Structures are given as C-alpha cells and as structure tokens.
Structure 1
Amino acid sequence: MKINIILSLSLFLFITSCTTAEKEAEKTAVKPTPVQETNLVQFTAEQKKIAGIITGMPEKRGMSSVLNVNGLVDVPPENVFSISVPLGGYIRKTSLIPGMAVRKGAVLATIEDQQYVQLQQDYLMAKNKLKFAEADYIRQKGLNATKATSDKLFQQTESDFNQQKIMVKSLGEQLQLIGLNPLSLNAANISRRIQIYSPIDGHVTKVNVNTGKYVNATDVLFELINPKKLHVNLTVLENDAANLREGQKIVCTTNRSPDKKYLATIHLISPSIGDDRSMSVHCDLENYGKELLPGTYLNAAVKLNHASVTAVPDEAVVKWENKFYVFTDEGNHQYKMLSVDPGILSEGFTEIKSTLPAKNIVLKNAYAILMKMKNGGEEGE
C-alpha cells in the first residue's frame, strides 16, 4: 500500500515539473518578427525634398529605335573629274598639290610636244588648200553649167572640195580637244605648248605628275572634286538593311567633332550583298561645311519604326542586379519597387513594354530611392 502511494506521488511530481518547464519555455521563447515587404521604402517629407523626388504619370510618346552604323563621306561620280591630256606630252609647269582649291578655267598644267606643232601646221595647210579647192569648185561649177567642161571633171572638183572641208573640220576638232581655238590660229601664233584648264570650281585630290614627266593620253594627271554635293556611303549589315527605306533621315557625327550633327537622307540602298554580308547605303548630305572632306569617317544613327509607346524619363528607370525597375508612389511618401521591361531609348526617354499600374511613378531621382532601400533604409524613421 505504501509503495502504491509513493509511485502515485512520484508520477504527479514528474507531470507537474514537465508542465511547469513547458510554460517557462513558452515565456522565454523569442517571438518571430512579422515579415515585411522588401520592395517598399518609406521617406519622410524632409527626405523626399532633399532627394528631389518628383512623381507623375507615364506618357505616350512617338519614339523610334535607332540603328547605329558607320560610313565615309563620299562624292557622287558626276562630281569627280579625272584630268588627262588627249595627245600626251611633257609636263613643263604645274604647281598643284592635293587639297588646293582651284577655280573654273584656272591653268592646271602646261604641256609641250612636237606633235602639237605638227597638228597646228596640218590644220593651217588644210585650211589654205580648202580655199583653193573652194575657188576651183566654184569655177568648175560655172563652166559645167555652160557645158564648157565635162561632168566628170566637175564631179572630181566637187569631191576634192568636200574632202578638204572634212579635213579642216577634223583637224579643227583635234585642236579644240587640246584646248586650242582653230578660229584664232594663224602662222604667227603656232606654239609647241598647250595648257590644261580646270573644268570646275573645286579641290585637287590627286596629283600624279611632276615637272618634266612625259604623260600619255591614257594617263590621269590630276583628280578634282566638286564639294558642293557630298554624300555618305554607309556600311550596313544584311539583316539591318532590311529595316531601311529610301527617304529615311539619318544623323551623322564625326569623331573629331561629336557635338556637330550632320543631317542626311537615304536615297539608294545597294541591291547587292558583299562577302562580309554587308550592303552599301548611299545618303545625301543636307548640311555641311568646308570642314567635312571626302573620306571623313562618320558615325550615323538611323531612326526606325516610329510608334506611340508608353515612356518615362530615363532617370525614372533604375538597374539592380541586371534587372530594371521603376518606383510607384504608394502615398504618404512611400514608394514601391516594380520590375519592368524597357524598350526603345530616345531623346531622354525610355519605352516601358510592361503594363504599369494606374499610379504616379517616380520620374526623377529614382536612384535615391534605390540607394535608401538597398542601404537598409526601408523601415523608415
């Protein structure tokens, strides 16, 4: 009996001690902190003012994507002149150097050769013979009209006269080809020298001769360009060229003066593709000065697919861990971080492809909110 009482008492004490221990454990246990939303950040009115945060609604804007390509300033073929001498000769005088400006009609070079003397002699002698042939033709024509001479003799005289006219005309054209005026040529002004004149107002780009050098009729002595009409030759990859159209506007800059913008319009897209899978796109320059020379390297931006899209200022979009975000205004100086998908960047604005809630968003100084959030300031003060 005593043993049963002792066992019952021991069991009661054990249960009581366990219950007491559990209650003490519940009292001393650390209660979990409520989970807070980590994409919210709280500012005070003063903090917002100091940070310069400005909010507003996104807007609809007409925006275009931009294709960046490279190219060179070029001159249309009709504005490039290769200067040769039709009959060849020795260069006796020239003072041209590449880059020099020349006026139309200016003397580019003086050339001499004995064949010029021979050509002038042949012309003057042919001209004198023509006078005699003409007089003989008139005389024979009169005699033939009265049957004082045979028709055969008259026809021979007429043939000689016509042949001599052809000879004079042919030699006269050859003289004009080398820059001599046959109408002013006479025995007193025969010369062994001729002069080469500039056909345009322009600039010298190539000089292939020097004093004393003999040149042939096929040699190019000088190359001139007329800089009044320049164009841009762009190199565009095959896939990108499919987005281009004639009439599209482009903006060009040089590495030397990146702030100076030159406008151009696409006027021809080459239908052939090179070995490097690129195409040539020719554009007319609209504004340029003497500082833009043929061969200048250009950076060009081509605007594509103009469309009305939802856009925000560039500084409204922040980047964190390779993702892009904006902040929505939740009221009472509280802002919520929202992941977005950006699109076209143009003229200080960024397209937002994602659907935005019908709330104001932070348009300016969004990075100040990001810094506060990531530096542990989201609990507010």
Structure 2
Amino acid sequence: MKKLFIYIAVLFLSASCSSPSEKAIEAETPAEENAATLTDAQVKNAGIETGNVQSQNLNDVLKVNGVVDVPPQNIVSVSFPLGGYLKNTTLLPGMHVNKGQVIGLIEDQGLVQLQQDYLMAQARLHFLQQEYDRQKELSEQQVSSAKTFQQVQADFAAQKVQVKGLAEKLRLININPGSLTENNISRSVPMYSPINGFVSKVNVNIGKFVNATDVLFELINPDDIHAALTVFEKDMPKIKVDQLVKVSFVDEPGKEYDCEVILVTRNVDANRSGIIHCHFKTRPKNLLPGMFLNASIHIENVPSLTVPEDAVVRYSNQQYIVQVTGKNHFQLVNVETGLRENGRVAVSSTSTELSGMQVVTKNAYAVLGKMKNTEEEE
C-alpha cells in the first residue's frame, strides 16, 4: 500500500513538471491562420501560376424593370367649355384618332342662345358704326353737341367689346364667327380631336349632361411615349444620358428593342430607387402606357481592380483570393466580387489594398486545400 502511494505521487509530480514546458513549446510554434507554405515540388505538381491584380475598365449590363410611360404634355383631356348634352360619339378606348376628326357632338339650348346673342350684337354694332360716323361728321361741323357724339362713341366702343367677347366664346366651341349667319344657327356643336393619337379613356355616355369642368375623353399622343425604368439608388451613378438600353416585353421575351437614356431623375423615392427615362429608337407597334417591360442597361468603362475568374475561391460562404506573401508562401484575402467580362472579375476588399497585389491566378483551390488540410491536422 505504501509503495502504491509513492508511485502515484511520482506520477503527479512528473505531470506537474512537464506541463509548463509543453505549453512553452506550443506558444513558440503557433499555427498561422489561412496561410500555407508549399515546397517547390508541390507548386510544380499543382500547376500553380501567379500574377498581379490589374486595373482595367469593364463593361457591365444592369438588369432592371419598368413600364411604358407617357409624359404629361402628351396626355390630352378633352372637355366642352360651355357644357351641354352629349348627342353622339363613337369613341372607344384604344381607338386611333386623327387631328381634326369629329369625336363627339354636343347640343344645348345655351349654344343656340350664344349664336343668337352674337348675331344680334353684330347687327347692333353695324348700326352703332353708322351712328358713330354720322355724329362724328356733325360734331366736326358743330351741328350737334359734343356730349351726343361722346355718348355714341362710348356705345360704339362698348358694343365692339361685346362682339369681340361673344366671338371668342364661339371660337372656344369651334364655331367660326365670321361664317355664322341667321341661316346656319345650330343647336349642335361638333368636338374635334386636338391631336393624332389614340383614346385612353371615355368618361361619358350618349345623353349625359356634361359641365365645363368634366373630362369627356382622354387622348394620348404616342410620339413621345417612352420607357420609365426603376433603378436602385446604388446603381444610379452608373447611368448617363445617351447610354444604350435593350428593352423586351412580357409577350415578346425573345425580342429586344433599342432605346437610349434621355433623362436621369435627381431624386430617390421611399424605396431607395429612382426613375430613368428612355426613348425608343424604333417604336414598337401596339405600344400602350402601363405595359410592363424588362430592360438591360449597358454600362461601359467602369474602372475596376480585376483578377482572372479562376483566382477567386469560395470557402464557408466567403470569397477569397490567394495572396503570394513570399517564396511558396500563400495567404487568403477575403474579397467581394463585382463585374465580370472576358474571363476576368472585379474584386474589392475593405481591409486590404489590392492594387498590384501578387496572387495565385491558376489552381488556387490547390493552395486552399493545402491550407485547410494543414489546419485539420493541427
């Protein structure tokens, strides 16, 4: 029993004496994380090649969505300035109309009264014109009093104003006062299309009374119809006027139409996005406002730091490039990738300066495998 006790004590002392030395050895040889050193033979057998991170301009294609839009100045709301009953119209949404085409017929007794008032005012103006000429001659000969001439002169001037005002009211409803006589007074007045375009809305029906403020029809001039694209805030600085844009529609996904950027908005909405307006170089047929579209914006000459695509490796949901830090010595550098073109990819890092860095450009996964196998062994 005594021998057993001594044996256990010796073992305990031995363990207590050896522990500090082992810890010291471990401290002297720490493992370098995400790094590895290969022999010349390993580098040759793995086919590892190296090169530098290069600065170059890349071209990008930005995928966005949007709708067909019409500027406000190309949307025309048609009203009748004096009100009346809609007697006739043949318009339907989607119909094409030509400038000057009759799009509706309005009738009302007020229209008859306006024409009557104008003709009566015109007749009285003719009478006052003759009276003015007589009184002027008599006043010059001092046959009549100056007061009489002044009264006639005032009446004549007032009548001219009244005739002018009534004539302008007639022009508002497309009646030519110069051709109006007692023989062609009409209770109906035609409405004409002010533009070449198509009908987007019809807000009235035959027999309905419309006020001067009511919008009867809405017409769209398609000459300036364009694509309005939604672009996120981070991509807005990449877009400039005159950039090329390819547009396709849902019903024709395989066909693209060329556009160019004509306007970049200077504000961002609550969704952190802005609107880019693009003009169609060749306007597609059957193009209607509100149609959904897909677009590709071509962005040229974006300054970038690039490496070959084979130089980027992925491990644990992270992307890396393998930096050459010495002869056959390598270390991982965490990066984010961006544009890709002609086998090269743009890379960036928030913690390391990449410009001119020497990296593994081929068989970088062989170095990554060596690093991770070394870590597992340790």
What TM-score, normalized to structure 1?
A: 0.68
In 2: Cα distance, 1:39 partner to 1:206 partner: 75
Change in Cα spacing, 1:269 to 1:305, as seen in structure 2 (3 Å) is: same
> C-alpha displacement at 1:164, in angstroms?
0.8
1:80 — aligned with what? 75
2:145 — aligned with what? 150
Change in Cα spacing, 1:185 to 1:313, as seen in structure 2 (3 Å) is: farther
1:262 — aligned with what? 258
In 2: Cα distance, 1:257 partner to 1:319 partner: 38
Pair 1:297 & 2:297 matched: no
Change in Cα spacing, 1:346 to 1:135, as seen in structure 2 (3 Å) is: farther
Change in Cα spacing, 1:80 to 1:346, as seen in structure 2 (3 Å) is: farther
1:247 — aligned with what? 241
* Aligned counterpart for 1:351 among listed residues 336, 345, 355: 345
In 1: Cα distance, 2:142 partner to 2:231 partner: 82
Gaps of 5+ in 1: 1-33, 43-57, 327-337, 363-381
Pair 1:187 & 2:177 matched: no
2:375 — aligned with what? none
In 2: Cα distance, 1:152 partner to 1:295 partner: 69
In 2: Cα distance, 1:116 partner to 1:299 partner: 51
Residue identity over aligned pairs, in percent, reads 42
Change in Cα spacing, 1:347 to 1:295, as seen in structure 2 (3 Å) is: farther
1:210 — aligned with what? 205
Q: Is the Cα–Cα contact under 8 Å of residues 344 and 350 in structure 1 kept in the other structure?
A: no
* Aligned counterpart for 2:164 among listed residues 169, 179, 203: 169
Equivalent pairs counted in the alignment come to 312
Deviations 1:186-244, CA, capped at 9 Å, x for gaps: 01110000111111111111111111111111011111111111223233334443x25
Task: Give 3-state SS (helix, strand or coil) of 2:222's partner.
Answer: coil
Task: Give 3-state SS (helix, strand or coil) of 1:217's partner.
Answer: coil
In 2: Cα distance, 1:279 partner to 1:320 partner: 34
Pair 1:121 & 2:116 matched: yes
Change in Cα spacing, 1:214 to 1:348, as seen in structure 2 (3 Å) is: farther
Query: One-letter code of the match for 1:269?
Result: T
* Aligned counterpart for 1:223 among listed residues 218, 222, 225: 218
Which is greater in Rg? Answer: 1
Task: Give 3-state SS (helix, strand or coil) of 1:125's partner.
Answer: helix
Task: Give 3-state SS (helix, strand or coil) of 1:258's partner.
Answer: strand
Change in Cα spacing, 1:38 to 1:213, as seen in structure 2 (3 Å) is: farther
Query: One-letter code of the match for 2:263?
Result: H
Query: One-letter code of the match for 2:345?
Result: E
In 2: Cα distance, 1:88 partner to 1:352 partner: 66
Q: Is the Cα–Cα contact under 8 Å of residues 342 and 350 in structure 1 kept in the other structure?
A: no
> C-alpha displacement at 1:117, in angstroms?
0.2
Query: One-letter code of the match for 1:168?
Result: V
Change in Cα spacing, 1:73 to 1:170, as seen in structure 2 (3 Å) is: same
Q: Is the Cα–Cα contact under 8 Å of residues 342 and 351 in structure 1 kept in the other structure?
A: no
> C-alpha displacement at 1:110, in angstroms?
0.8
Query: One-letter code of the match for 2:133?
Result: I
> C-alpha displacement at 1:325, in angstroms?
9.6
* Aligned counterpart for 2:277 among listed residues 274, 279, 282: 282
Task: Provide the aligned C-alpha RMSD in A.
Answer: 4.2
In 1: Cα distance, 2:253 partner to 2:45 partner: 42
Query: One-letter code of the match for 2:241?
Result: G
> C-alpha displacement at 1:343, in angstroms?
3.9
